[in-house]
Structure 1
Amino acid sequence: MGVELVRGENQPLAGNRLRIHVSAAVPLVVGAVLDEGRGAAGGGASFLRPGAPARADGLRVPPAAARDHELTVDLAELPAAVGRLGVVLALPPGRGGRRVPDRFGVPAPPRVRVTGEDGSAEPLAFVLTGLDTETAVVAVELYRRHGGWRLRAVGQGYADGLPRLLADHGVPDPAAVAAAVDQAIAGPRCSAPAPPSPPAPALPPPGPAALTPPPAPSAPPPPLPPGPAVPDGSADHGAPGPPWAPAAPRLRYPPPRRHRRVTPPPPAFPPRQPRPSRPARWRGAFPFCLRRGGRWTRGVGGPGWLPYAGDAAGWSLEERLYNQVNGMFEDLARAMAGYRGAVEFADGRLERELDRLLGEPGSRLGAAVEAARDQASAARQALVDQARAALDRDLRQLTAESEVVEPALPSGCAGWESPVWQAYRPPEALPWAVRLGDLHLPEVPELRIPMLTRLPLECGLWVDSGHDADLADEAGPEAEQVRRRALETAVALVVRLLAVHPAGGLTVHLLDPAGTAAAAFGPAAEALRRAGVLAERPGGVAEVLEELALRSDLVRMASDGRGTQADPKLPGPLRGARLLVVNDFPYGFDDRSVALLGRIAEEGPDAGVLPLVVAARADAAGRGPVAADVLGRSLLRLTPFPGEHVADPWVGHTWTYEPLLPPEGSRVLERVLGEVAAVRQAHGR
């Protein structure tokens, strides 16, 4: 018995000493990715591969490829910096032959089972269904959450193999690590062909002589010749596998002689070393309720668990808040995936039950079939109610966490209504991240996750001013209202990007060939002029684009691919970032200007030139594929009204994006620009 998990579901882990069993129909390589949770800037990920020296912190991985593996891990012995541990499965080298398939979609899906060392906890199992062309997969992961550990069923596969998986998880030099795994698994034992088996000796005829014990041999018998080589680097003599392996008949031509191999005992845990005493986190000694992975458990501690801001890994509070928001984003995506999967399973079972009832002509009518239908519907509703109860528990936890995290966010990540803007001052250095909007799911529109993006931005922004067909009903906004709202969204984004840059660190270039942005950008443009951050160059669209494209080339050549726009090695005129605001693209753009903007959109962010384009997709498509490609491939699309166009990288949910606009009648934008102007004047910039 145990708990069968579905993809995306998570459960709490009661103990620290665990055994992770992996069983498959073909030999697999098993490893572990350890992530210290420092984000893209810090890295900190490592891969414990087969053949590597054993770790002394309670983690053991199998040394070779096999159909059955057992990993042992002591969570209490892991370093405090490790926030996530992922179990990785990969096909061994030499795949694609008769014995080893070239992808996970061919054999039966692998199965992972997690048990406690003492057997007191309820086992957790996960079958990796739905794999097709993948050759490496993250099966499950163990991660810290609110002082405890949880297990999540991941099942994320990679068709590009182990190097791509390691690269996505931040492991340094993933190609070399994958090559070391292949070398350790292949080994020198598979290099020479196995000699043929000798013919079996003839059996003596039955009779009295057969009961006579044979004479003692004068010399020891020759060693048993090895059988045909198998992909795990050992000889297969038809010996039985581990006791938990499923029995499967295999044919051999010619059949090899059988003997029994001695299966090595599972690795033992190292003796526990005395750990230094550390101050207790909880005061007092009375029971409290602690929520872990959707369940409330009782323990002994202080007044009870409460969420707090900064409950994540990181070197600074700003980095911890960023990682905590990303953890909330991922938790909500996984929890909703579990709920939707449960509802889909309940609907499918109800449909199959009704098909069975209607498929029998004699049972289509009558009280019995009505009772069976009611019973099937009641069973479906019971499953849905159970899944909704689990989702509601997770939502209550995430809502409580959001209520304490939102007020603690710094100015660049806070909403315009936050009180932190009342005490805003331009930062001395570029902060960790910036907030571009909010995200929510249709089932829970009241729970909104801040859309935080690391700085400096890796791509430009596109504010879609087109009249969406989904909003073209009577209750939807008109086309002119969409364009006006798009300009207001662009102004708010410009001010926010100015607010997160140090004073003098960002210069704005405004291109409005048609002159349609005067109403929305008029007050903001005047404030930008007073702040000294609006660059006004004589000339047309092509001249401004040529200047910024040339600046991008000079910055990349000066930094030699290693620096950024803030690199102190750059000359003074090349320091600082540039924000190019383009309104009503592609009106006023010839073919050469479109090509220059496309070049800036692709190469400019790496050199400190960030485009912010206000345009409609239909207008750009009318100018040809180059203009449409500028919007669709190189820029991050943002909508002035709520739109469902953002997908998360874990389960692929469609999230609703909402722009960040200041409250009606608020003067927070003027205040921010005034502070930027005051600091620039004080420093003589």
Structure 2
Amino acid sequence: MTAELVRGQNHPLSQARLEIRISAGTPIVAVAALGDENGRIHGAEWVAHPGAPTQPGLEVPRQAAADHRLAVDLDAVPEAVHRVSVLLALPVGGTGPVRFGAVAAPFVAVTGLDGGEVASYTITGLEAESAVVALELYRRQGAWKVRAVGQGYAGGLAELLTDQQLPQAHQLAGSINDAVSQGLARSVQAPPPRTADGDRSRQAAAPALGPDQGGTAPQPGPVPPVSPYGGLTPGGPGQPAPQQPSYPGSAPDPDAVTQPSAPTAGGPIDYSHPRRQNAAPPPPPPTAPPAAPGQPAQPVAGDATGWSMEERLYNQVWGMFEDLARTTAAYRSAVDFAESRMDKELEQVLSDPRSRIGGQGDAAREAARARHTQLVAQAREALDRDLAQLAAEADVVEPALPPAYARWDNPAWHAYRVPMEIPMALRLGDLHLPEADRIRIPMLVRLPLERGLWIDSGAAGSSDGSFTDSPTMSRLAMETAVAHAARLLAVYPAGEFTVHVIDPAGSGAQPLAPLVQTGVLAAPPVPGAAGVADVLGRLTQRVDLVQMAVRGGAADSLPPGFDTSQQLLIVNDFPHGFDDRAVNQLRYLADEGPAFGVHLMMVADREQSSGYGPLLDPLWRSLLRLTPVADDHLADPWVGHAWTYEPSLVPPGSQVLQQVLSQVATARTKFT
């Protein structure tokens, strides 16, 4: 029976191998620390954190996320350890909340490897604190117990670790924050949560505020720790039931999910639609025909809640992403459990002298292997059932996607017309896992872009093990950048998106030909160091001007004829033609540009750019790294699966890119 703890209460633990599941109202950092009989942490080697995720008996996630799973093996911790403390902290230097009082109360559960919950604790009463000791597992008279602590620290991780008597607490806190910042550059943002009835809807999501809108967006909220696939049920202990969802008509941000009952840093959540204050409730999503008895319902495109088909499809795609992440996690966990159980049984057989007499040992080993095979087969059967349902859903969703969400080979592009409104999101590629290679989940990102992109042109091994040389990778990277830029131009209304290109050595002439020949660029690609300085100077000056106007409350006083469209700068062949001043300008555009309508797309080899050292690191971390070939460098925000990313490229021989860009150029001419 589950023990729901309150602060200070303890509960005995009957298992040594445990999982600690954490669900919070925003992406948080999870740390586990080992302490002696007095609770003292002797050094950094006693702490498992994103920069060093494993310690004896401990394993923690490598990144900040709204959901975490920590693995604990109490039999494997050193004899000197008498306490295992679970520490939670808000990331430093991000755009999220800076205190726990601004988000939903974090929920922590201790479970067995079979998923059975042993004890849970909802950490209430936090206000200005940005770090908290959630709970501790402690050894008492040879037995282990769990205690709900809930001790918060307004000074963050540094103050918390100092209070735990850790030498060099500030240095360790700094290294943890650095590791989290680096992890942000390789993380897929969290998609929306589910409602209690399984609808994929966004709850109290934040509107996409432009530089002339102001306001404070609600902060992220917890994603339910379970999914309707894989035999798991929606919702989780300690999580309030979802209330009526609200979804903004502007671009949704997968990181801006908010638990309905949670206050935010900007005050109470406004559940009204930002563009439909007096509108009626959203229309119901399409319903599937009744399923045959004992059979799953037939999937329908757009079966999630939303104000329009575009919104419903967006929610459905992210729901599929969550489903695949969680059902795969359940399968992997079941396989790990089967293997650990078999290892334990085989170890018992080997340690029993009686098993060496006759055939008892062989029979016991065969029985252990048979149980392992049976458990794995059961897990695979459940996974295959879930994957079949997801595959059927993907088959009906993909053809129904609008151009902004669709692959380039989707017929939606053949019926393309320049839109009148900005869509919610943009497809940057596909994501898939090795257990479900046939299922491709569209990778959708919010519009306007909140982060720039780094298209890595370095020589790398693709997911199938083949090697691509540097010249080929450079060409593929530039083709990928052109495909992304063309898609951005295509989904914005005429005159509302402008593309600039820096190509110092002219090496990108061939991939850039579609943009140049159709006339959609603001000006021809700029060569040479002088061209680099000119373009960067004009764009940084533009950001400065808009920033001063907005912050001074005079957004309507910009000079006559000022180009208010979103600006994209594509940088090829970095660092060729760049000096330290130019690199600092790039960093400025990456940090400040997105909020004021200037976005950055770097096409560069990270290794070749390493000569700039620490000067380049902040730029690298602030951009989302994508690759021109399939590569498993992205992680989901729940269990940290290594997802294989594949860029969205134009099929060889297809003329769809030229046709779309020609329409964009024609519409732009009419607009001007």
Superposition TM-score tier, normalisation by shorter sequence? 0.5 to 0.7
Instruction: State whether structure 2 residue 567 is matched by structure 1 residue 514.
Output: no
8 Å CA contact retained: 1:507, 1:534: no
Distance 2:444 2:429 in 1: 8
Q: What do the CA deviations read for 1:609-633 (whole angstroms, capped 9, x no partner)?
A: 11111001101112222124312x1
Instruction: State whether structure 2 residue 528 is matched by structure 1 residue 497.
Output: no
2:520 pairs, out of 516, 528, 531, with 531
* Structure 1 position 364, deviation (Å): 3.8
Q: What do the CA deviations read for 1:501-554 (whole angstroms, capped 9, x no partner)?
A: 111111111111122111221343222xx2364466795211210110110121
State how 1:210-609 maps to structure 2 within 5 Å. 288-289=292-293, 296=296, 305-364=297-356, 366-468=358-460, 475-527=466-518, 530-531=519-520, 533-534=522-523, 539-560=530-551, 572-609=561-598
Distance 2:104 2:617 in 1: 45
Task: Letter of the 1:23 partner, please give it.
Answer: E
Provide closer, same or farther for how the CA distance between residues 154 and 594 of structure 1 changes in structure 2, counting only shifts above 3 A.
farther
Instruction: State whether structure 2 residue 627 is matched by structure 1 residue 639.
Output: yes
* Structure 1 position 34, deviation (Å): 12
User: Which residue of structure 1 lines up, in the alignment, with residue 259 of structure 2?
Assistant: 169
8 Å CA contact retained: 2:104, 2:261: no
8 Å CA contact retained: 2:102, 2:262: no
Distance 1:282 1:464 in 2: 42
- SS of 1:540's equivalent? helix
Provide closer, same or farther for how the CA distance between residues 478 and 449 of structure 1 changes in structure 2, counting only shifts above 3 A.
same
Provide closer, same or farther for how the CA distance between residues 651 and 682 of structure 1 changes in structure 2, counting only shifts above 3 A.
same
- SS of 1:105's equivalent? strand
Equivalent pairs, count: 466
User: Which residue of structure 2 lines up, in the alignment, with residue 145 of structure 1?
Assistant: 198
Distance 1:655 1:618 in 2: 22
User: Which residue of structure 2 lines up, in the alignment, with residue 90 of structure 1?
Assistant: 122
Q: Relative contact order (alpha carbons < 8 A, sep ≥ 6): 1 or 2 greater?
A: 2
Task: Letter of the 2:618 partner, please give it.
Answer: D
User: Which residue of structure 1 lines up, in the alignment, with residue 641 of structure 2?
Assistant: 653
- SS of 1:508's equivalent? strand
Distance 1:563 1:658 in 2: 43
User: Which residue of structure 1 lines up, in the alignment, with residue 650 of structure 2?
Assistant: 662
8 Å CA contact retained: 1:141, 1:154: no
Distance 1:562 1:129 in 2: 53
Q: What 5-or-longer segments of structure 1 have no aligned partner?
A: 2-20, 36-45, 51-64, 68-86, 96-100, 109-127, 158-164, 179-277, 297-304
Distance 2:104 2:607 in 1: 51
Distance 1:33 1:417 in 2: 39
User: Which residue of structure 2 lines up, in the alignment, with residue 627 of structure 1?
Assistant: 616
Distance 1:308 1:592 in 2: 53
Distance 1:176 1:588 in 2: 43
Distance 2:553 2:262 in 1: 17
Task: Letter of the 1:675 partner, please give it.
Answer: Q
Provide closer, same or farther for how the CA distance between residues 329 and 443 of structure 1 changes in structure 2, counting only shifts above 3 A.
same
Instruction: State whether structure 2 residue 1 is matched by structure 1 residue 23.
Output: no
Identity of aligned residues (%): 44
**What TM-score comes out, normalization by structure 1 length?**
0.60
8 Å CA contact retained: 2:566, 2:597: yes
Instruction: State whether structure 2 residue 644 is matched by structure 1 residue 613.
Output: no
Distance 2:233 2:597 in 1: 41
8 Å CA contact retained: 2:480, 2:648: yes
* Structure 1 position 652, deviation (Å): 1.2
Q: What 5-or-longer segments of structure 2 have no aligned partner?
A: 10-22, 27-100, 110-118, 140-144, 154-192, 201-226, 240-254, 269-282
Provide closer, same or farther for how the CA distance between residues 134 and 590 of structure 1 changes in structure 2, counting only shifts above 3 A.
farther
* Structure 1 position 572, deviation (Å): 3.8
- SS of 1:646's equivalent? strand
8 Å CA contact retained: 1:461, 1:637: yes
* Structure 1 position 393, deviation (Å): 1.3
Provide closer, same or farther for how the CA distance between residues 338 and 132 of structure 1 changes in structure 2, counting only shifts above 3 A.
farther
Distance 2:196 2:319 in 1: 11
Q: What do the CA deviations read for 1:590-610 (whole angstroms, capped 9, x no partner)?
A: 010011011101111111111
**What TM-score comes out, normalization by structure 2 length?**
0.61
Distance 2:152 2:376 in 1: 34
- SS of 2:639's equivalent? coil
Q: What do the CA deviations read for 1:54-86 (whole angstroms, capped 9, x no partner)?
A: xxxxxxxxxxx9x9xxxxxxxxxxxxxxxxxxx
Distance 2:445 2:288 in 1: 38
User: Which residue of structure 1 lines up, in the alignment, with residue 136 of structure 2?
Assistant: 105
* Structure 1 position 468, deviation (Å): 2.0
Task: Letter of the 1:90 partner, please give it.
Answer: T
* Structure 1 position 423, deviation (Å): 1.2
Query: Which entry has the higher C-alpha Rg, 1 or 2?
Result: 1
8 Å CA contact retained: 1:581, 1:611: yes
Provide closer, same or farther for how the CA distance between residues 141 and 662 of structure 1 changes in structure 2, counting only shifts above 3 A.
closer
Distance 2:654 2:577 in 1: 34
Provide closer, same or farther for how the CA distance between residues 429 and 391 of structure 1 changes in structure 2, counting only shifts above 3 A.
same
Distance 2:147 2:393 in 1: 33
8 Å CA contact retained: 2:3, 2:120: no
* Structure 1 position 102, deviation (Å): 4.3
Distance 2:373 2:632 in 1: 29
